[in-house]
Structure 1
């Protein structure tokens, strides 16, 4: 979604960043939650202004300093790396705004080096010469929320990306299709898609793509029956829903245990796992639960009770294998292979 007319929702976040360029932002969201689309929308908005110099970077490795040097064409073979502040700085009258996507690797590297680049970013922002919008997932979340020693905690405003609001999600699954001459058969059909996908933009886009690609030549209306076939059979949707597994058996275990208990609290999930003979520290358990919540696999309702907000994903979880069987395998993996839970990737 690189054009404004194909970008839906996130207007609050776009305005928050684009209308307040004299501050830093930390955008946290799971992969495929729309961070790239948001930053590109901000880029287009700021490119229309003469009072800021906006740059967009998508990091492929952890070395932000060297990437800025390449971006500025300031590094020839054999040259010493110019100071970060020189590379990143604009002027007080026209500050530079850096939109930096996929920042998790950079955060990891800067933590290990005792935050030299983050400290330089802070100095530039305090001087009004440059501002930074960092977008990432788990490492950025840890730095912003969990690590009290991290200088990123008060570095900028924290924006946490969630699924689209219902109005934007409905526009996403109706307007592009209408432009192709493909209406829905009834208002309840796209509403059903939104409910099944939990308003997750990536799932909505994949479902609509599959609907168009599998539409019979003689059909000109998108039907509920056709949608149900796509939701049950499309391989791309299945691959996306498989990402619920996370990066460690404990990620899977807490999900399966929660689904077995029917809207439990966090403590009820932990106690149920302990009753199965697991020895999981409070820190490891809370980290796994935070990761699952940030991934929108398990979220709390208004009373703190956990549920899967994406029915389509829950169906895939339950169809892989029985919840009891899968949970027993996860706990066996934990006992055999891991004495400590590694940081989520």
Structure 2
């Protein structure tokens, strides 16, 4: 083996002439972005290729480990596989679906990776030739890669954390509305887990990408994402902003009078970065709770926006909705409201079929599958992701690549899905809102899935159980249930937005007991 070279500093896209032949083909002929990263400690060059257009779990920096003909000749197949396994471990590449590009036969490497459960893909000389000679080269490349990994490792569905880039689906209208709205502020509203964080992170990614294309590195610091869920004081919020924009001023902060210092700081930072600061403030409800006895910070944010120093995109649920509906709140008319709505049937079908059909999954009675998932989830993206994720797991378990409508029954039996549906409701609602739902289930029984009801009907049902609510409280509760995706509205009539929800709730709990408990705890 050749002596270990010095590490190479990461750089931008490589000139085709600097690349191995196959990566040169991807860069020159297929216009894929290829970057060099570093020489690994074991002597293999690592490149990064942008496979994000596939909209799978391949990023814009998918690692590609290059194994030259000299590397293949210098050791036997097993020793080479063990060396590459060490590279994947040492470089922390296992969760990034690394590709091993081999100038030779890759059968031994594939067998070793499969036997040792290493999520790595091998592209050997034969695969490379197939891609070069194909009249559909990009699809041919994916066909060489995808059979080597479990579907769950490459399908983009995510049920536990925010996503951006290649794994972000839908919301294109909302993103464009924010990106191209000049200096307008926005308030993104929706229940937890509906995708607010993913939306803000995707906006952050695209804004930074726009700035990078202008080759102004300093300007990228103008885009600031902040998770406000753990911020409970004005002082803490200001500290985090200063830490992000100019940490050298932190030592001076405690001696400053915040109402005077903070507006001046924001103005100076906007001037320094040659443009307005763009704040993406997630979980903004927590910051509003910290402001219960003070308007100071919110007035300062509004003033900074009016002066053109800052632009704000905030995301929250209950407290944000209340603040933007309150004539006395400094946030009233401060931002354009943007409620994250359910996916359309077309968006639902794109999320289901787009990724899986690229992976050569076949659907029996395609329209029936799309209709059922859309109808049962009400188009809620988090529930659609769960459906798709469970179907993918079932395909891996059965070693099949065919989905039929009968497979949807596996979703209803999945304990994680049931827990998710129930916790999403229980964690996002007040006791009065829970009482509304429980009362409706008791009043209409199994017919509740198809039932339409008015605010008058809901009021009457609550009174039958001894609950008397003012019009404002009742109207606000129903509005919050609508925002939470529990109820949907058509004119004066309401119905359950996701038919699967009342079924799950009724099959998991004694609803009469649930109503008794919220009354015992108090609905106010």
TM range (shorter): 0.7 to 0.9
Q: How many residues align?
A: 332
CA–CA distance in 2 between the matches of 1:170 and 1:76?
Answer: 53
Shift of 1:86: 4.0
Question: In structure 1, what is the equivalent of residue 497 of structure 2?
Answer: 309
User: Structure 2 matches for 1:264-343, cutoff 5 A?
Assistant: 264-302=453-491, 304-321=492-509, 323=511, 325-326=512-513, 329-331=514-516, 333-334=518-519, 336-338=520-522, 341=524
Give the direction of change, closer, same or farther, for the CA distance of 1:267–1:30 in structure 2 (3 Å limit).
same
Answering whether residue 452 of structure 2 is matched by residue 263 of structure 1, we say yes
| Cα RMSD after superposing both structures | 2.4
Answering whether residue 204 of structure 2 is matched by residue 31 of structure 1, we say no
Shift of 1:77: 9.1
Q: Is the 8 A contact 2:189 2:315 kept in 1?
A: yes
CA–CA distance in 2 between the matches of 1:135 and 1:6?
Answer: 20
Q: Is the 8 A contact 1:25 1:156 kept in 2?
A: yes
CA–CA distance in 1 between the matches of 2:394 and 2:440?
Answer: 36
Q: For residues 205-252 of structure 1, what are the alpha-carbon distances to aligned partners after superposition, in whole Å with 9 as ceiling and x for unaligned?
A: 12211111222343111221112222x111222122102234443222
* TM-score normalised per structure 2: 0.59
In structure 2, runs of 5+ residues without a counterpart are: 1-161, 445-450
Q: For residues 111-170 of structure 1, what are the alpha-carbon distances to aligned partners after superposition, in whole Å with 9 as ceiling and x for unaligned?
A: 321x2111111111111111111110100000012x221111111111111112222221
Question: In structure 1, what is the equivalent of residue 62 of structure 2?
Answer: none
Shift of 1:333: 3.6
Answering whether residue 333 of structure 2 is matched by residue 154 of structure 1, we say yes
Q: Is the 8 A contact 2:188 2:340 kept in 1?
A: yes
Q: For residues 247-290 of structure 1, what are the alpha-carbon distances to aligned partners after superposition, in whole Å with 9 as ceiling and x for unaligned?
A: 44322220122343432101211122113322333343333222
CA–CA distance in 2 between the matches of 1:185 and 1:252?
Answer: 39
In structure 1, runs of 5+ residues without a counterpart are: none
Answering whether residue 448 of structure 2 is matched by residue 252 of structure 1, we say no
Shift of 1:103: 0.6
Shift of 1:318: 2.2
Query: Is the partner of 1:278 in helix, strand or coil?
Result: coil
Give the direction of change, closer, same or farther, for the CA distance of 1:105–1:218 in structure 2 (3 Å limit).
closer
User: Structure 2 matches for 1:1-345, cutoff 5 A?
Assistant: 2-47=163-208, 48-49=210-211, 50=214, 53-62=222-231, 63-72=236-245, 73=247, 74-76=249-251, 79-80=254-255, 83-89=261-267, 90-91=270-271, 93-113=274-294, 115-145=295-325, 147-187=326-366, 188-215=368-395, 216-230=397-411, 232-242=412-422, 243-245=424-426, 246-259=428-441, 260-261=443-444, 262-302=451-491, 304-321=492-509, 323=511, 325-326=512-513, 329-331=514-516, 333-334=518-519, 336-338=520-522, 341=524
* TM-score normalised per structure 1: 0.88
263-272 or 211-220: which moved more? 211-220
CA–CA distance in 1 between the matches of 2:364 and 2:266?
Answer: 52
Q: For residues 82-118 of structure 1, what are the alpha-carbon distances to aligned partners after superposition, in whole Å with 9 as ceiling and x for unaligned?
A: 63224444139511111111110101212321x2111
Instruction: Point out which structure has higher relative CO (alpha carbons under 8 A, 6+ apart).
Output: 1
